[in-house]
Amino acid sequence: MELKTKIWMTGALEWIAFMDDQEVFLGKREVPSPLDEGDAWTNELGDMFKVVDGEIKRVGKTEPPRKYW
């Protein structure tokens, strides 16, 4: 599958995408690797994403996942 969304990883190991003419934080470890059609995840800010037709789409917002230390 060819991913149509431009993505990159920062030096802090954060995944960023260029969506709708702006940079969007995708997440850190929660981003599936390698990305494949149908993959979905929620980042630490509560933004939900899914790979649809080779593009990463923001599909909603939810309460951020709780971290248990």
Tell me the pLDDT tens digit for each residue of 9-51.
999 999 999 998 999 999 999 999 899 999 999 999 999 999 9
Alpha-carbon distance of 11 to 57, in angstroms, equals 24
**Structure tokens given for 36:** 């494949």
Strand order in 22-27's β-sheet? Answer: 6-9, 15-19, 22-27
**Backbone phi, psi, residue 2, to 5°:** -95, 125
Helix (H, G, I), strand (E, B) or coil at 58: strand
Domain spans of the chain, in order of start = 6-61
Question: 56 pLDDT exceeds 80?
Answer: yes
1 pLDDT higher than 80: no
